[in-house]
Amino acid sequence: MTPHSYTYLLVEKRPSGVAVVTMNRPEILNAVNWEMHDELERVFIDLDSDKDVRAIVLTGAGRGFCSGGDQKTLDKSTVPSATRGGRHLIRNILEVEAPIIAAVNGAAVGLGATLALMCDIVFADSSARFADTHVTAGVVAGDGGAVMWPLLIGPARAKHYLMTGDFISAEKAAAIGLINEVVTGPDVRDHAIEYAEMLASGPRDAIVWTKYSVNKIIKEYTHLLLDTSTALETLTFASPERREAVAAFAEKRKRFAEK
């Protein structure tokens, strides 16, 4: 048992040493409200403290991985909690010693894309798509997208996807190095669990410290960028473009349409 109970996450610990974390709001493609955000912050601390956990799989319930922030609740927050939560979620993921494998079973959008790409290994179903849509929602890509996309695919490609919010297919994401592999045969969740069990059965210290060494690169970029990008994201929550994006979402019309 982990020390906390969860409302929006399902946490399954297997005898193999693999913990499967499932984001569980399938009716809205696992969009993240602030309560779920808090649970995501806590679950990685809980699992990192559990020495029986040797590998972790992160996935989504239903037909999507995570559609990003819940637009109906995102603006109902104070500035300190928003910036703190964003920083802590990313840093908590990076501090987990056990390898984390993402099983992307559908759309991974905004924060959902960040959650997937912050994992150590990313497997995606052939139907999966990735996008960082912060800019199309009128805010800066500040929750980790500005860290991981350039590291994975280079600054030029990253700036295109971060500034346009364009979607990228699982096949293209694998081809350009954004993710590890597209899974076309078995269920992506089963494939990720099998891979996690392989790592869990391996030499723990060697795997943990290899991950730690490589993650030094990611942590350096995180320390360089995350405070600034989350602060700028928070500032843009009060911008006219953000208000227009929220109104367009509520009215189910195209965002930033010409007047």
**CB-based burial, 28-62: b 16+ in 10 Å, e otherwise:** ebbbbbbebbbbbbbbbbbbbebeebbbbbbbbbb
Report CA-CA distances (Å) from 232 to 69, 122, 134, 135, 255.
17, 28, 12, 12, 21
What is the tens place of the pLDDT at every residue in 3-59? 568 999 999 999 999 999 999 999 999 999 999 999 999 999 999 999 999 999 999
What is the tens place of the pLDDT at every residue in 26-39? 999 999 999 999 99
Give the pLDDT confidence score for residue 251 in this predicted structure.
72
Helix or strand holding residue 144 (H, E) = none
- CA neighbor of 132 nearest in space, from 173, 180, 84, 79: 173
What is the tens place of the pLDDT at every residue in 95-149? 999 999 999 999 999 999 999 999 999 999 999 999 999 999 899 998 889 999 9
CATH match of 9-190+198-205 with 3.90.226.10: yes
Mean pLDDT across the stretch 212-231? 94
Query: Does residue 258 have a pLDDT over 70?
Result: no
Give the pLDDT confidence score for residue 75 in this predicted structure.
56
Query: Does residue 187 have a pLDDT over 80?
Result: yes
Place of tokens 């592999």: 181
Determine the number of helices (DSSP H) and then strands (DSSP E) in the chain: 9, 9
What is the tens place of the pLDDT at every residue in 64-93? 999 998 877 765 554 445 556 678 999 999
Confidence of residue 255 (pLDDT cuts 50, 70, 90): low
Report CA-CA distances (Å) from 120 to 104, 162, 212.
13, 21, 11
Domain coordinates in residue numbering, the chain: 9-190+198-205
Portion of the chain with pLDDT greater than 70, in percent: 91
